A and B are shown apart, each in its own frame.
Chain A
Amino acid sequence: MEKIVRGYPESMRKSIELVEKTRDERLKHVMAESYPLIPLDQRIDILRKYHPDYRMEMKRPVKVGPNKGDLMPNEVADLLEAHPLVSPKDVDLSKIDYDTDILIIGSGGTGLAAALWAYYSGAKPEDILIATKLRLGDANSKMSQFGIQAADRPEDTPMTHYLDIMGAGGFVNDREMVKTMVMEAPMIIKWHEELGVMYDREPDGSMVEKIGGALCRKRLHFCKDYTGLEIMRNLMDEVQNLKIPILEFSPAVELVTDDKGQVAGAVLWNMETSEYHVVRAKSTVITTGGFGRLHIQGFATTNHYGATCDGVVLAYRVGAKLRDMDSVQYHPTGAAYPEAIVGLLCTEKLRGMGAQPVNKNGELFVNPLEPRDVEAAAIIRECYERNNGIITPTGMRGVWLDTPMIEIINGKGAIENNFPAMFRQFGRQGIDMRVDPILVFPTLHYQNGGVIINIKTETMVPGLFAAGEVTGGLHGRNRLAGNSWMELQVFGRRAGIYAAERAKKATLGKLTLDHVVKYERMLKEAGIKTDRKAPMILPDYRGEKVIAHTLRIF
């Protein structure tokens, strides 16, 4: 094995020397000035050639359901064309274990906002039920580093925020959703202040805000690089103080409908005892997040263990339509070295504060602040088309993100103060990112599309609401940094309000799982033969040898 010097093998060190050589020259033009931006009309060219979304052989038209015929990544189509986990004959719907007004499936930033705003708008805590797959708050929301966008500075307006979102999303975004978010965003920041979220501020209390890829204003609010964690800590504490009932380790494995065709709750499954629970609810809200753990096209991911697309599968089976499910966000900068942390997020704030992506020769090859899809495509081109990537001992390719520039531009201590999580993460691996660049490659980050909703977060099926990453429309085909957290809050809040409103007047009929029978029939008619079942609930990372030698005895 090669000798490791301060975290890197000697072969990679040679390339770092080239990065150091060009650094002074590159420091003369930083951020947006550093390299020409790709004009709007030419973005599509680089995307078509190098963005993984445009590899048509990795997709197929889904054979059943409301989006029949639409192209989806094979991994998503596999789940939509899988058998339901439960069969109606195994579940006794006459015995209701939890009878509630509002069932919230998922406990990330969206689910918790929905619970809190359902309570604020009059629902009693005991009439709300949060069911979550792992622990309370186990979600991608906690992992968000950079921030949350709100146009609240005098230099900024809701219109510029709107434009940034539309342009990055390829102008196919749901305009009403975009408008709703940019207009309600500042109010959410104020709510967070009241909850106690420790945003980074100037001494007079004004927010410190930074720029991100494809933003035209400094609009990203943050809490060092633990933004998601900090907001979640506040939301979780609030939900616990209000004693809103929570069922942990209880994923929804199927929705329940009634004989009027409304969604009327869910079948939950206790992961540890295998017991099922029937929940009857007047409003059901899906806030289960995205699909990072499907490892679409074999990509490593930044995502939480539980990001397995469950909510999309459940909603689809009761007839909710989806959009842009073939649009995947690959974050331009996932860790590419060392092996232990491959795929983990290296926050966009690094580029927002001056770090530049450079190739093995120390050359800057793209503007650091392109939209994420364009930035990712440019990095893939550099590694695989131009062969200017750095190859790691395990054969992975990546480019440098020149993090030492951050301290040169922003002063000594800028990395420890702004990036404690990143600094710690690389420090644990023996790499000092103040002194040496870090190696990055695009990593599967976000589900751009999802369940179609209106601005009241209603899906196309009565009784079923959805909000957050599980939905599509807001981001079009590419999301900007910090618009996920704002989406979670704006639409999570709305889901809580409108779910509570519906619960006041909805009446439910007889509970059924007829949609499961219908779905099985559709699978059969489409000629689908598979043993696969969905939702996936958790990925399986056991060693191949162990899986091959498993005996299921008890």
Chain B
Amino acid sequence: MAETKQEEKEEQKEGETVRIYIMGREYKVPAGLTIMKAMEYAGYRFIRGCGCRGGFCGACATVYRKKGDYKLRMDLACQKVVEDGMYLVQLPFTPAEKAIYNLSELQPTTNVLLEYYPEIAKCVSCNTCTKACPQDLEVMDFVQAAIRGDIEQVAKLSFDCIMCGLCAMRCPAEIVPYNVALLARRLYGRNMLPRAKHVEERIKEIEEGKFDKEIERFVKMSLEELKEEYRKREIEE
């Protein structure tokens, strides 16, 4: 007891701290840190399980539990702020299967996703994938859309996917929703979105040499002339 009081006193001196458990061992860290920064503060130096540190790459997908609560929770270590009594681990790697294909030979047919990822048919609609998603995507809905062959729906619902792997780790049917969605998005982007005609036209103009003389003039221009051209630009509204 005496020891605890001593600790409490120190806490007051140091400013606000929280108590976390990394792989079961207790550490005291400043409040307000993300899980990633808290583990580093405690002395961990990451090789695995750390990437962009900004919520875009999915490297730091992690599982945690709060003291006295049986529920496993999932989030990104670089985004989630530590809370008192958190039990933390690292998930370094998701051993998931990715189908190999030549996109230019594929058509966005109703069956194509099932053909490359037949295991999606085993989905039991338990929604565990959705609950696991740190991006709050409707994962089960896009797996169901994949079974139906609705490629557009899969592409749109999965667009914000950072491919962290948590859905695949939790799926009792061993589906890899994020790779299924990747194929769907690529098919949608390549075959179902209309192409930009103005891009095609500009490429043709460039190939025909329409800008060659003018761009060369800009390359050779004196600094003063170039500055003058720059000042003359009109900003598009």
Q: Which of B16, B33, B59, B182 contacts A237 (CB 8 A)?
A: B182
Q: Which of B56, B101, B191 contacts A226 (CB 8 A)?
A: B56
> What residues on A are CB-neighbors of B162 within 8 Å?
229
Q: Which of A417-425, A485-493, A495-503, A504-512 contacts B (4 or more CB under 8 A)?
A: A417-425
Closest to A217 in B: B236
Known: A195-B190, A196-B187. Is A158-B211 also a contact (CB below 8 A)? Answer: yes
User: Hey, what's the 0/1 contact readout for B23-67 against A, CB within 8 Å counting as 1?
Assistant: 000000000111001001111111110111111110100000000
Q: Which of B2-10, B138-146, B223-231 contacts A (4 or more CB under 8 A)?
A: B223-231
Instruction: Tell whether, in the assembled complex, residue B206 and residue A198 are in contact, meaning their CB atoms are under 8 Å apart.
Output: no
Known: A162-B215, A207-B199, A233-B182. Is A193-B190 also a contact (CB below 8 A)? Answer: yes
> What residues on B are CB-neighbors of A341 within 8 Å?
79
Shortest Cβ distance from residue A89 to the other chain B in the assembled complex, whole angstroms: 26
Question: How many angstroms between the C-alpha atoms of A41 and B155 in the bound complex?
Answer: 48
Known: A134-B59, A187-B203, A237-B186. Is A142-B235 also a contact (CB below 8 A)? Answer: no
Instruction: Tell whether, in the assembled complex, residue A142 and residue B56 are in contact, meaning their CB atoms are under 8 Å apart.
Output: yes
Q: Does A553 contact B (CB under 8 A)?
A: no
Q: Does B160 contact A (CB under 8 A)?
A: yes
Instruction: Tell whether, in the assembled complex, residue A421 and residue B43 are in contact, meaning their CB atoms are under 8 Å apart.
Output: no
Q: Does A540 contact B (CB under 8 A)?
A: yes
> What residues on B are CB-neighbors of A481 within 8 Å?
none
> What residues on A are CB-neighbors of B211 within 8 Å?
157-159, 183
Question: How many angstroms between the C-alpha atoms of A127 and B189 in the bound complex?
Answer: 30
> What residues on A are CB-neighbors of B135 within 8 Å?
424
Shortest Cβ distance from residue A431 to the other chain B in the assembled complex, whole angstroms: 13
Q: Which of A50-58, A61-69, A174-182, A464-472 contacts B (4 or more CB under 8 A)?
A: A174-182
Q: Which of B59, B185, B193, B198 contacts A138 (CB 8 A)?
A: B59
Question: How many angstroms between the C-alpha atoms of A547 and B16 in the bound complex?
Answer: 22
> What residues on B are CB-neighbors of A525 within 8 Å?
none
Closest to A145 in B: B56
Instruction: Tell whether, in the assembled complex, residue A163 and residue B218 are in contact, meaning their CB atoms are under 8 Å apart.
Output: yes
Closest to A205 in B: B194
Question: How many angstroms between the C-alpha atoms of A100 and B216 in the bound complex?
Answer: 38
New A-B pairs, 10, CB < 8 Å, besides A167-B230, A196-B189, A226-B159? A32-B235, A167-B227, A186-B203, A190-B203, A201-B194, A206-B198, A217-B236, A339-B32, A340-B79, A542-B40
Chain B: residues with CB nearer than 8 A to chain A?
Answer: 16, 32-34, 37, 40-48, 50-57, 59, 79-81, 98, 100-104, 135-136, 155, 159-160, 162-163, 182, 185-191, 193-203, 206, 211, 214-216, 218-219, 223, 226-227, 229-231, 233-237
Chain A: residues with CB nearer than 8 A to chain B?
Answer: 1, 31-32, 40, 134-135, 137-138, 140, 142-143, 150-155, 157-160, 162-164, 166-167, 171, 175-176, 179, 182-183, 186-187, 189-190, 193-199, 201, 203-207, 211, 215-218, 223-224, 226, 228-230, 233-234, 237-238, 240-241, 243, 249, 271-272, 302, 304-305, 338-341, 344-345, 394, 420-421, 424-425, 428-429, 538, 540-543, 546
